[in-house]
Structure 1
Amino acid sequence: MQIETAHEHRPGPLKQQNKKHKHGRHKSKGTLEKLNKGRVMSILRPHSRKKQELSREEKRNQAAQLRKQKRFEFLQKRRGLCEAPFLTAVVPLHSSISATNSLTKVLEDLGNEAVVTKTSEGQCHVEISRLKHRFTLASTKGDNLFDTLDLLKVADTVIFLTSVNGLDEDAEIMLTTAISQGIPTTVIVCIDLDTVPPKRRQEAKTNIQKDLERWLPEEKVHGLEKNGDGMMLFRRVANQKQRHVIQRDRRPHLLAEHVEFIETSPGNGTLKVIGYLRGQTLSVNSLIHIPGWGDFKMSRIELAPDSFSGDQDQDSFRLLEVADPTKQESLERENIPDPMDAEQTWPTDEEIATAEEDRKSKKGKIVPHGWSDYQAAWIPDEDAIDLDGSDGEELNEDAKMDAKSEGSSDCESDQGDEDEMETGSIMTEVPYESAEKYDKDIDAAEEEATLKKLKEARDDKEFPDEMDTPLDLAARQRFMRYRGLSSFRTSPWDPKENLPLDYARIFQFQNFDRTRKYVLKSIEETSGALAGSYIRIHIADVPTYLYRLREEQPIVVYGMLQHEQKMSVLNMMLKRPVALVSEEAIKSKERLLFQCGYRRFRAQPIFSQHTKGNKFKYERFFQPDSTVVATVYAPIIFPPCSVLVFKENKDGTSSLVATGSLMSVDPNRITLKRVVLSGHMYKVNKRSAVVRFMFFNREDIEWFKPIELHTKYGRRGHIKEPLGTHGHMKCVFNGQLKSQDTVLLNLYKRVFPKWNYDPCVTFSKVEEEGENK
């Protein structure tokens, strides 16, 4: 018997679900009234929270912080060291502003609350007891841009002195270079704000802030029109958040406050530099760098008495470290190549037998000197010659002609029709004598070279890499070192193939990123003079002429990391500054002045495109609106690192042409120079055409037959067969052709920079004296 059960309704998935009331975490008014029972003040009392227990990881972190703080206090107490004062650079942004007079005005406003002492190098030490801080004010004595940049490399704060008259042209250049280099914490002060009526002072501040908005958008302008503004200025310098510049903070650095030179041998001497060490710990066994002078070794480091005390007696210096020749870094910059390194060992019997068989063969290929197996594969089999014949002499002659043509390959440019030059209106009513006097100051050769360079840059921009095949030389000889690629992106290219002899002089890491991490990690384990100490370092083997030719240049000492004295290949990403756009194009292998991090040197770079991939196209010109990668031979420096590029003028001045950063230290970066040979349609028949003016003999067509063709309208094809003996050829493409289309053939060759690194960079007066010497 079956028993019936009661029916139960089960809700389906479409049943309406109402939201619950969101009362929040607070209590309602009624609940609070019940809890307080009429006591109103208890509502305002903060509720006490139980102390949360820290996790195991937080406890370890807290204990590590306490250990680090106690260790620092113990070392300070044991060594008697003091914290380095705030190094503040004072930089005027107008030619009418004097940094010395402005500093005097600020210090007078402090009155008796500050103790001021001066160093032999011109810095001012200011100690303010009310603020419980010490400051070092430094400024450059001249208007040299590089002196200001060297000072900003080591400064903690920079005070920009502005005027109600606005900014001049030099100020714009200085701000652009300073920000590109890596600017420290900034403060903007208007010096002559008291010359403006009180009702218009706020308007004057707003105008100055608008002028600086392009470079420093978040900074406010401070004035010195009232008593106490000087104290407010120093309080802001001491309390504002410091901006970290990585390339500065990762290395020990020092600004010289006292300098002494003792000549120990003819032409060389010991440079004694006293100053506060900042950044990281400095070891006496490491190397140091002085911008514009070069790399040097240290012989000893001594602890000096505090500069604020004014006691600089020789007996008060305490020896800290002496260099150990067995542990000291070497100044060796280049790797000495072994000319016997590529020599073969004595051949075996099998190798002798194989060579004898090859010699007895009737036909074979003679490969020009320097060719790889890949390049030799392009020689057609029907061009094989009799080894016993006289074709070897002809090949040698061809090789000589190729070497001769390669020597002039740097001057590659289309020799087409001359461009029309637009001439502006010229004053016609000029006396003959004044016109003659004007012509005396013009260098005709320079004018002609500049005009030629402008025309080449314009042609390269309109017709990139296009070149006419020479009429007096066979194309297979002219472009013997070039090869074709089926795909620029995917075709293989061995980075170790046909390297120049200069590559035997450089250093290369098996894994640069791993070495960089190891070197940066070893900074914490360095022992020596601690950051914040006042020391005197003895720099050995400094050339005497460098010290004698030093004028008002501030001496900045930078401690170098491991391996940073060794030569390698640096790749720097560069772009033209927006504020200083110049229409002048810069040619590859042109001599330029580089400031890469703390280094300053001259070199002749090659430019290439900044793209993705393992091969990069060579750029003949650095156009104004482009971004390129400059490749040079230079000492290793670990990124991140800023780069400034200057072009030296004939009058001794330097103009900023590019800014950027160090991208990599990689000798295996492949830069390929492209040559585009163009041909014109003679007869068109749908997908095939007769092309002429690309080659001028039948042998060249057979030589370049395996290389793929393309057109400006996007068609791709290949050479089918030569027609006649005057360079006409039949070509087949993958689509319908147009009569106005142009046929192109791409050839590639790897290029390398020139070895002309010059670390000794001085200024115009110094250069003239050095040349006279």
Structure 2
Amino acid sequence: MGQKHNLKKQHKAFKARHATKGSIKAANKGRIEQSEGIAKKHVMTKLERRNLKTQARATKMSALAEKNKIFDGRNGVPRNVAIIPLTGDIDSVKVAEQLSTSLEAVQSNEGAGILSIPKFRQKLRLFIPKFQDFYQIMDAARGADFVLFVLSATEEIKDYGEQIIRCITSQGVSTSFGTIWNLQESLGTQLKEKQVVSSLTSWFTHFFPSEKLYNLENDSENKIIGRLLCQRTPKGIHWRDSKAYIIPEQMEVDSNNNIVLIGSVRGKSLSPSQFMFIQGYGDYKIAKIELLHGGNGNAGTSENAGMDVDMETDMDDDQKAIVSTEFSRLLPAEEAIEIHEDVNEHMEGRGIRVDGHADVTSLVEAKAEDNMIKQSRKLPEGTSSYQAAWFIEGEDYESDEDANILTDEEGELVAAEDNEMEDDNNMESESESGDEEMELESHREHDIEREAKDDLEFPDEIELDPMVPASKRLARYRGVRSIRHTDWDAREYDQRMPEEYPRLFRPGNLIAKGNYIVKNLGFSDVVSLGSKIKIYLETNDTNVRTATEEPSLLLNNGQLIAAYSLLPGEEKLGFVNTTITMDSEVMEPIKSKQPILIQYGPRRMLINPLYSQGGNSDNDVYKFFRFIHPGRTAVVTFIGPVSLTNAPVVYYRHDPENTIERKIIGAGSVQDSDADRIIVKTAILTGLPVKIHRKLITIKHMFFSRKDVEYFMQVPLFTKLGAQGFIKECLGTHGLFKATFDKKIKSEDTIAMALYKRVWPKRAVQV
């Protein structure tokens, strides 16, 4: 056994309780040490915590009392209740009668459809939209304080009923209740009743987890529903309550052909300088507001009854600059933006544009080629400039095979014999044109499915016709080295630019713009919340006057017509960019520019949307989607009235043959109104490597002529396996070329070239 070494000197261990300056400096690695300076947090005592909870409870109770204030008293606003049936066997009129009987309601003399409830000192207004009128149901649910869904105990809820409740929840809904109709009369036994109630409750709580179902045939539960309608505070809809709106009690036309609406101000205070939007009709300018009596809001009092408020309100210069005094969809001509002229359009013989500039190399080669043409020499096809130097000047050299070749209107080559037979076949082609149109119509759906499948497997890839020059077919496209960093001028002139584009409204940041408008307009005490008013709207629309002459539309049939105020600028046209997330029930892709219905805020439009990628880009350039596939998210762009709030958006399928059912496609919200958003369509050309020599590759089947290769020479190349390269030189006359890449290419790789062009949205149509 070895002996333990005991002669080694043992140094005293460093036992300092604090780190040295050197160790601190090494740990900081050059960073400057800063003192935290955090004060010791005060620990609240039990009494302080109890006092804090009491204050929070008092604040909430005060806020609820303030919200319910507009419903109380003699001048209180009626509570709007929409009765929505989900099956066709439900009689909504009997549901309303049962509800009014349980509440011991009496007809009020303030207007048709308004019920007075003496027991709770409240007023209710019941709206009964038709089950077969989808738009009427959506409008009623959007403007109501309470939504009463009625489920049948005997009839199963079908797709149409499910679409109703799904669309209502997507557009935003206030306080909702669920009721069951025909439970005891149809079933009888308690066991069956429990089974039906359990099944319907499971279905209803999927959409409203915190709500329960009430039996309308049970007196006690019927009274509970009535008490909740009279005493509960409606939670409201955020986008709706952020503006002033009116549910008219009367609608008429005065001697000056102005629409006259009588109703109470809801949401926010109303300014006479605003425009009003009547759902189903359009935008109108306020001519005058007559205050009938003040409501229970902060500023309205009964002493102001009979006061007239017109457009001549006291506003400073900044407010007048915000408010538009003339109704116009577009900005004035003097405020239109300047469109930049495309200098490269006037350059003859230019090559393809790369990052906004014409290809100088192609331009020089084109000028040299023009000089050779001026020398009046005809050379055989495929002769290079080196070979042309050996031919004798002044003599023509033509191939006899090309003597019978002609060029048609599209630039394609056709034989002379075919050209002579064209006149003989004109009559036959005209007779067959009708059959071809029918055949194309029958195969339209099949073609869309095939295009969607190809777009999913080979996105943005196109095939060139060998007989059509690529420079002609892709004349509007340009090359881009990086779509995220390219300097693309948003206001560059384009032949397909909409005529109204320079005069479109450009609000910029929606949140900042909305806050600025509300802060500087001073809506405070013009017409306060809860005040009953008579509002005059300027119009020459005969359809609205005809509708007002039929009070059954508004009063007898239970249709809810709401008039919403617009923030200054919301009557203008602009780019409307909204997000869309495909509904889980939609299993087929939707093609871009295919007509769909959109509902954002109070508006409902028929649009031909452009789908593009989401996110934020520094250069405001976004990729265009030919299809939006199930489960994906995109941005929808169209030209229409802008929205300065992030209102919810619902998309419906447009079917002109079926005007009753509307199938939901997806939902989203308003993103912005950026008119400088550049949506670019991508076209990817692909080729195959023929010969590989290290990083020098010979490529075929991308182009079919030498001129096309020279035209697109400056556009960068890439492969599907991640290599980057560029065209080095042309080979022959059939579109072959050599290219170099930054790494070795595999034989199974595919060579590609991406080209881009800007696409423009179309104007929406009001529905």
**1:532-558 Cα deviation digits (max 9, x unpaired):** 223222222141134436856532111
Within a 5 Å distance, the mapping from 1:263-662 to structure 2 comes to: 264=256, 269-304=257-292, 318-324=306-312, 329-337=325-333, 366=348, 374-385=356-367, 446-498=441-493, 500=497, 501-509=499-507, 512-522=510-520, 525-548=523-546, 554-578=560-584, 580-583=585-588, 585-613=589-617, 614-653=620-659, 654-662=662-670
What is the CA–CA distance in structure 1 between the aligned matches of 2:443 and 2:46, rounded to whole Å? 85
The answer to whether structure 1 residue 131 and structure 2 residue 120 are counterparts is: yes
Identity rate, percent = 26
The answer to whether structure 1 residue 115 and structure 2 residue 122 are counterparts is: no
Worse-matched range after superposition: 516-525 or 566-575: 516-525
Counterpart of 1:727 (choices 717, 735, 741) is 735
2:201 corresponds in structure 1 to: 209
Given that residues 652 and 664 in structure 2 are in contact (C-alpha distance below 8 angstroms), is that contact kept between their aligned partners in structure 1?
Answer: yes
What is the CA–CA distance in structure 1 between the aligned matches of 2:490 and 2:348, rounded to whole Å? 25
Given that residues 370 and 498 in structure 1 are in contact (C-alpha distance below 8 angstroms), is that contact kept between their aligned partners in structure 2?
Answer: no
2:213 corresponds in structure 1 to: 221
Relative to the length of structure 2, the TM-score reads 0.73
Q: 1:701 to 1:284 in 2, by over 3 A?
A: same
Given that residues 595 and 643 in structure 1 are in contact (C-alpha distance below 8 angstroms), is that contact kept between their aligned partners in structure 2?
Answer: yes
- Segments of structure 2 that go 5 or more residues without pairing to the other structure are 1-14, 19-42, 296-303, 314-319, 341-345, 375-406, 412-436
Q: 1:495 to 1:727 in 2, by over 3 A?
A: same
**1:4-62 Cα deviation digits (max 9, x unpaired):** xxxxxxx9979xxxxxxxxxx9xxxxxxxxxxxxxxxxxxxxx99799999xxx99x99
Given that residues 353 and 479 in structure 2 are in contact (C-alpha distance below 8 angstroms), is that contact kept between their aligned partners in structure 1?
Answer: no
**1:106-163 Cα deviation digits (max 9, x unpaired):** 22233xx432348876x3x233333333222212145211111111222111111111
Amino acid corresponding to residue 581 of structure 1 in structure 2: V
1:190 corresponds in structure 2 to: 180
Given that residues 721 and 729 in structure 1 are in contact (C-alpha distance below 8 angstroms), is that contact kept between their aligned partners in structure 2?
Answer: yes
1:424 corresponds in structure 2 to: none
What is the CA–CA distance in structure 1 between the aligned matches of 2:628 and 2:161, rounded to whole Å? 26
The answer to whether structure 1 residue 146 and structure 2 residue 154 are counterparts is: no
The answer to whether structure 1 residue 259 and structure 2 residue 265 are counterparts is: no
Amino acid corresponding to residue 331 of structure 2 in structure 1: N
Amino acid corresponding to residue 518 of structure 2 in structure 1: L
Given that residues 258 and 538 in structure 2 are in contact (C-alpha distance below 8 angstroms), is that contact kept between their aligned partners in structure 1?
Answer: yes
Given that residues 648 and 670 in structure 2 are in contact (C-alpha distance below 8 angstroms), is that contact kept between their aligned partners in structure 1?
Answer: yes
Amino acid corresponding to residue 626 of structure 1 in structure 2: R
Amino acid corresponding to residue 138 of structure 1 in structure 2: F
What is the CA–CA distance in structure 2 between the aligned matches of 1:227 and 1:271, rounded to whole Å? 43
Given that residues 270 and 565 in structure 2 are in contact (C-alpha distance below 8 angstroms), is that contact kept between their aligned partners in structure 1?
Answer: yes
Q: 1:101 to 1:476 in 2, by over 3 A?
A: same
**1:742-765 Cα deviation digits (max 9, x unpaired):** 2111111122112x3323x2xxxx
Worse-matched range after superposition: 639-648 or 152-161: 639-648
| Displacement of 1:656 | 2.8
Amino acid corresponding to residue 124 of structure 2 in structure 1: F
What is the CA–CA distance in structure 2 between the aligned matches of 1:390 and 1:233, rounded to whole Å? 91
What is the CA–CA distance in structure 1 between the aligned matches of 2:410 and 2:144, rounded to whole Å? 53
Given that residues 354 and 481 in structure 2 are in contact (C-alpha distance below 8 angstroms), is that contact kept between their aligned partners in structure 1?
Answer: no
| Displacement of 1:258 | 1.9
Counterpart of 1:168 (choices 144, 152, 158) is 158
What is the CA–CA distance in structure 1 between the aligned matches of 2:572 and 2:132, rounded to whole Å? 33
* Secondary structure in 2 matching 1:89: strand
Worse-matched range after superposition: 205-214 or 373-382: 373-382
* Secondary structure in 1 matching 2:690: strand
Given that residues 214 and 222 in structure 2 are in contact (C-alpha distance below 8 angstroms), is that contact kept between their aligned partners in structure 1?
Answer: no
The count of residues paired between Structure 1 and Structure 2 equals: 629
What is the CA–CA distance in structure 2 between the aligned matches of 1:376 and 1:685, rounded to whole Å? 31
Amino acid corresponding to residue 532 of structure 1 in structure 2: G
Given that residues 300 and 323 in structure 1 are in contact (C-alpha distance below 8 angstroms), is that contact kept between their aligned partners in structure 2?
Answer: yes
Amino acid corresponding to residue 765 of structure 2 in structure 1: D
What is the CA–CA distance in structure 2 between the aligned matches of 1:117 and 1:67, rounded to whole Å? 29
Given that residues 331 and 505 in structure 2 are in contact (C-alpha distance below 8 angstroms), is that contact kept between their aligned partners in structure 1?
Answer: yes
**1:601-631 Cα deviation digits (max 9, x unpaired):** 2232211012442421101122233211111
* Secondary structure in 1 matching 2:665: strand
| Displacement of 1:170 | 1.4
What is the CA–CA distance in structure 2 between the aligned matches of 1:76 and 1:157, rounded to whole Å? 13
Given that residues 279 and 603 in structure 2 are in contact (C-alpha distance below 8 angstroms), is that contact kept between their aligned partners in structure 1?
Answer: yes
Q: 1:523 to 1:171 in 2, by over 3 A?
A: farther
Given that residues 513 and 644 in structure 2 are in contact (C-alpha distance below 8 angstroms), is that contact kept between their aligned partners in structure 1?
Answer: no
Counterpart of 2:83 (choices 83, 90, 106) is 90
Within a 5 Å distance, the mapping from 1:10-25 to structure 2 comes to: none
What is the CA–CA distance in structure 2 between the aligned matches of 1:660 and 1:343, rounded to whole Å? 32
Q: 1:379 to 1:496 in 2, by over 3 A?
A: farther
Given that residues 252 and 545 in structure 2 are in contact (C-alpha distance below 8 angstroms), is that contact kept between their aligned partners in structure 1?
Answer: no
Relative to the length of structure 1, the TM-score reads 0.72
Report the RMSD for the aligned CA atoms in angstroms: 4.3
**1:201-259 Cα deviation digits (max 9, x unpaired):** 33322211111233222211111233233221122223445324211011111222222
| Displacement of 1:661 | 0.9
| Displacement of 1:381 | 4.9
* Secondary structure in 2 matching 1:385: helix
What is the CA–CA distance in structure 1 between the aligned matches of 2:336 and 2:138, rounded to whole Å? 46
Q: 1:108 to 1:185 in 2, by over 3 A?
A: same
Given that residues 159 and 188 in structure 1 are in contact (C-alpha distance below 8 angstroms), is that contact kept between their aligned partners in structure 2?
Answer: yes
What is the CA–CA distance in structure 1 between the aligned matches of 2:491 and 2:761, rounded to whole Å? 16
What is the CA–CA distance in structure 2 between the aligned matches of 1:163 and 1:480, rounded to whole Å? 61
2:99 corresponds in structure 1 to: 106
Amino acid corresponding to residue 287 of structure 2 in structure 1: S
What is the CA–CA distance in structure 2 between the aligned matches of 1:602 and 1:343, rounded to whole Å? 29
**1:654-690 Cα deviation digits (max 9, x unpaired):** 4432321111111122211110001122233454332
Q: 1:84 to 1:390 in 2, by over 3 A?
A: farther
| Displacement of 1:167 | 1.8
Given that residues 251 and 279 in structure 1 are in contact (C-alpha distance below 8 angstroms), is that contact kept between their aligned partners in structure 2?
Answer: yes
Amino acid corresponding to residue 90 of structure 2 in structure 1: I
**1:478-536 Cα deviation digits (max 9, x unpaired):** 22322222222233323333363432120224655432221233576343322222322
What is the CA–CA distance in structure 2 between the aligned matches of 1:71 and 1:658, rounded to whole Å? 33
What is the CA–CA distance in structure 1 between the aligned matches of 2:46 and 2:208, rounded to whole Å? 45
| Displacement of 1:449 | 2.4
Amino acid corresponding to residue 357 of structure 2 in structure 1: Q
Given that residues 282 and 559 in structure 1 are in contact (C-alpha distance below 8 angstroms), is that contact kept between their aligned partners in structure 2?
Answer: yes
Amino acid corresponding to residue 376 of structure 1 in structure 2: A
- Segments of structure 1 that go 5 or more residues without pairing to the other structure are 1-10, 15-24, 26-46, 308-315, 345-363, 393-400, 406-441, 762-773
What is the CA–CA distance in structure 2 between the aligned matches of 1:166 and 1:71, rounded to whole Å? 38
Given that residues 280 and 523 in structure 1 are in contact (C-alpha distance below 8 angstroms), is that contact kept between their aligned partners in structure 2?
Answer: no
What is the CA–CA distance in structure 2 between the aligned matches of 1:594 and 1:50, rounded to whole Å? 52
